[in-house]
Structures are given as structure tokens and as C-alpha cells.
């Protein structure tokens, strides 16, 4: 085939937005004629590559839109270090079935045990599976809801926050909420109920949520909706950060870990969606 003919096909492919295939066409044609593949095999290979490239682009776009604080995978999570987590349950979540059913996930445990790591890893899986995802800290979320409420555009904001199939809310419980914040959070949970999944990480056990929301009634109403269809993972182990410090010789094994008194400062600066 003349190089002019190939260039013409490449131009047509670009017009059809088959960008990756257009780039690879000369090489693909060369390989196909060397390996003497059939027309149908050649076409299958070409379309397969284009589909894979499209999928990759969609995942990358969803990942950017999700605004993760960092990227960590399930593969890099050391389950042996944290035996209170059943890998089977996390593997089930990684299939994304909970997203299709709009079920919720609660990751509870003390600081450093991998809650945010797992939340991000599951979020990245959700993006790869094609689900729209958003990551926000609890502090960032409440600030953004309160601003919207004060500026009379709460409805608009709630509509936006219902759109992602997975909403990850990191670090509930580090800061107690004011009455308005708790109320706005309740409204969000009600809106998303049975429509889209919420994944929450918290350093507080569920029994402590009354204090976090400053009101037992509202905490119960929130938990009622969150827990109706949900997976709860209670992480009971040691902080991974401390293990790393120990390895570096900064702590001795006999030095026990004691949780700081009162709420710890948030680990990631609040981000507005
Ligand atoms: P948490 O949100 O529970 O406070 P993080 O998820 O921020 O904890 O974990 C703290 C650090 O330790 C992160 O860098 C995280 O990647 C790492 N980490 C925690 N647990 C594990 C684990 N079991 N395997 C690998 N890395 C871990
Ligand atoms: Mg965290």
C-alpha cells in the first residue's frame, strides 16, 4: 500500500476520532502483512486496540475528575499487616457490585491503619469500571455545603453531589460538626440514599457519631440511611505509619501506641469539589 493511501486512511481515522489506531496504522499494517493474518483478524486487532485506548482515556478522565489526594492501589495494600480486614470483603467491593446497588461502605479505625489508602484504591477501581467518582474530605464537604447554603444555592450543590455514582467522604469525626453542618450532611445522605454509594472513612466508632454530629437524633437518622445497605470494615490494627517509623529506628517496639486525646487534626487539607 502506498504511503499516500495510508496517510489518507489515517486522516479518515482521525476524523472518526480513532486517534490511537491512526497513529499505529503503519506498524499494524506491517505486522499484519508479515504475520499474514486474515482480514477479520486484522480488523479485530485494530478495533480491540482502539476500544482499549478509549477505555484508558475514560478511566483517566474519571480519575482526574474524582480529585483523589494521591493514587494508591489495592495491590499495594499489605493485608497481612492488617489482619482485622478480611481481604475477601475488599475483593468483593473491588468488583464494583456495591456501586451498581448503590450500597454504602464504612471504613472505621484509628489513624494510620489504611482507611484513606483503601478508600482511594476502591475509588480508582470505580473509575476503571466506568463509575463517576468524587473524593472529598468531610471538612471540605461541610465547608462547601455551608457556603452553598449561605449563598442560597444549596439545591444546586446537592444536585451536583448526587451525580457521582461513588462519593468518598474522608475523615468524618476528626472535627465535631455544628448543628447546621450536621443538618446539611443529613440532607446529602438522604438525597443519595439508594441512588448512589457513599464511602466514608472515620476514626470514630459508630457509637461516637452522636458526639460528632452534636445530636443523637440526627446521628441516628444519618446512620439509619447509611447502614441500610452497607459494608462496614472495622480496622483494629496498628498504624502503618508507626511501623515505618519503627523500621527506621525512630520508635522502639516497647513504645506502645496511644491515640492522641480528642480529635486529631485532618491529614489532608480540605478541598472543595
Ligand atoms: P488512615 O486514613 O487510616 O489514617 P492512611 O490510609 O492514610 O491511614 O495510611 C497511612 C499511610 O500508610 C499511607 O501512606 C498508606 O498508604 C500506608 N498504609 C496504611 N496501611 C497500609 C497497608 N496495610 N499496606 C500498605 N500501606 C499502608
Ligand atoms: Mg485517612
First to last CA, the chain: 52
Helix axis angle, 39-66 to 19-35, nearest 10°: 150
- Which ligand sits nearest to residue 138's alpha carbon? 2
Q: 2-29: per-residue pLDDT in tens?
A: 889 999 999 999 999 998 889 999 999 9
Whole-number mean pLDDT of the chain? 91
Per the CB < 8 A criterion, the answer to whether 233 and 199 are in contact is no
- Which ligand sits nearest to residue 90's alpha carbon? 1
| pTM, full prediction | 0.86
Q: For residue 255, report the distance from its CA to the centre of ligand 2, in Å.
A: 23
- Which ligand sits nearest to residue 118's alpha carbon? 1
Q: Is 273 exposed, middle or buried (0-12, 13-18, 19+ CB in 10 A)?
A: middle
**Cβ-proximal residues to 64 (8 Å cutoff; 6+ apart), any chain:** none
Ranges for all domains in the chain classified under CATH 3.40.50.300: 67-247
pLDDT, average across residues 75-87: 96
Residue 241's pLDDT is what? 87
Any ligand 1 atom below 6 A from CB of 78: yes
Q: For residue 273, report the distance from its CA to the centre of ligand 1, in Å.
A: 24
Residue among 68, 240, 267 whose CB has most ligand 1 atoms within 8 A, to mutate:
240
Q: Is the pLDDT of residue 258 over 60?
A: no
Q: Whose CA is nearest to atom 5 of ligand 1?
A: 114
* 273 grid coordinates: 469539589
Of residues 217 and 266, more confidence is placed in 217
pLDDT, average across residues 27-49: 92
Per the CB < 8 A criterion, the answer to whether 160 and 193 are in contact is no
Any ligand 1 atom below 6 A from CB of 113: yes
Q: For residue 201, report the distance from its CA to the centre of ligand 2, in Å.
A: 7
Any ligand 1 atom below 6 A from CB of 114: yes
Topology of domain 67-247, CATH: Rossmann fold (3.40.50)
Q: 105-158: per-residue pLDDT in tens?
A: 999 999 999 999 999 999 999 999 999 999 999 999 999 999 999 999 999 999
Q: For residue 56, report the distance from its CA to the centre of ligand 1, in Å.
A: 27
pLDDT, average across residues 89-118: 97
Amino acid at each position: 500500500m502506498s504511503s499516500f493511501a495510508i496517510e489518507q486512511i489515517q486522516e479518515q481515522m482521525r476524523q472518526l476520532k480513532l486517534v490511537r489506531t491512526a497513529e499505529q496504522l503503519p506498524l499494524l499494517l506491517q505486522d499484519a502483512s508479515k504475520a499474514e493474518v486474515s482480514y477479520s483478524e486484522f480488523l479485530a486487532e485494530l478495533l480491540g486496540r482502539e476500544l482499549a485506548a478509549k477505555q484508558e482515556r475514560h478511566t483517566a478522565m474519571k480519575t482526574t475528575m474524582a480529585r483523589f489526594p494521591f493514587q494508591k492501589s489495592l495491590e499495594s495494600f499489605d493485608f497481612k499487616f492488617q489482619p482485622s480486614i478480611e481481604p475477601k470483603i475488599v475483593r468483593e467491593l473491588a468488583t464494583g457490585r456495591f456501586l451498581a446497588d448503590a450500597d454504602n461502605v464504612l471504613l472505621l479505625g484509628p489513624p494510620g491503619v489504611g482507611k484513606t489508602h483503601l478508600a482511594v484504591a476502591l475509588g480508582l477501581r470505580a473509575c476503571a469500571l466506568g463509575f463517576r467518582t468524587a473524593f472529598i474530605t468531610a471538612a471540605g464537604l461541610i465547608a462547601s455545603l455551608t457556603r452553598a447554603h449561605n449563598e442560597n444555592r444549596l439545591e444546586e450543590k446537592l444536585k451536583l453531589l448526587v451525580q457521582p455514582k461513588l462519593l468518598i467522604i474522608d475523615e468524618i469525626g476528626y472535627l465535631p460538626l455544628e448543628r447546621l453542618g450536621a443538618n446539611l450532611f443529613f440532607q446529602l445522605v438522604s438525597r443519595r440514599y439508594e441512588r448512589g454509594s457513599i464511602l466514608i472513612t472515620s476514626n470514630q466508632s459508630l457509637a461516637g457519631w452522636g458526639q460528632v454530629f452534636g445530636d443523637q437524633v440526627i446521628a441516628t437518622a444519618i446512620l439509619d440511611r447509611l447502614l441500610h445497605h452497607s459494608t462496614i470494615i472495622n480496622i483494629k490494627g496498628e498504624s502503618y505509619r508507626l511501623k515505618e517509623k519503627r523500621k527506621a529506628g525512630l520508635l522502639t517496639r516497647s513504645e506502645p501506641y496511644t491515640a492522641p486525646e480528642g480529635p486529631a487534626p485532618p491529614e489532608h487539607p480540605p478541598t472543595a469539589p
